[in-house]
Amino acid sequence: MNTLTLEAFSALEGKELGVSEWILVSQESINAFADATRDWQYIHVDEKAARNGPFGGTIAHGFLTLSLLSAMSAGVIPTLAGTTSSVNYGFNSLRFVSPVRSGEHVRGRFGLKAITRRSENSYQLTVSVSVEIEQKVKPALVGEWVIIANV
């Protein structure tokens, strides 16, 4: 993980931070997510019925794709020097653009839109995110993620 001073981090405003490794979205992970969230809609978990559905097979939950941002960002978004904790603050915008089919690979692309001081010991990072699907033109999701770094 890359740790940057406030000055170095601020210099990245308006720039791409990087791209994560590809992550396989397996049927097993989709099923586990369905169990954790109690969302057993057939398009996610019933492979036979989903073949005749709107996507021609099972797809990941949009929220599963969203939840992978934590893993994707871990090796890409730098840490602000002195950070004692960082937390998700939410999203300014979020759109699920394309479904992720079982067996596809996804990766995250991140950019720093802004870093702003919230208080003496707290900064807000506004990060552009796009989750790409391997060999597809349209992304799975796009958004603007807000993270609070406490120093």
Taking all residues of the chain, what is their mean pLDDT, rounded to a whole number? 97
What is the residue range of 121's domain? Answer: 3-150
Copy the structure tokens of residue 83.
Answer: 């950070």
Number of domain units in the chain: 1
Q: How confident is the model at residue 75 (pLDDT cuts 50, 70, 90)?
A: confident
What's the rounded mean pLDDT across residues 96-115? 98
Cα–Cα distance for residue pair 53/34, rounded to 1 Å: 18
* pLDDT of 1 over the 80 cut: no
What's the rounded mean pLDDT across residues 102-126? 97
The CATH number of the domain holding residue 96 is 3.10.129.10
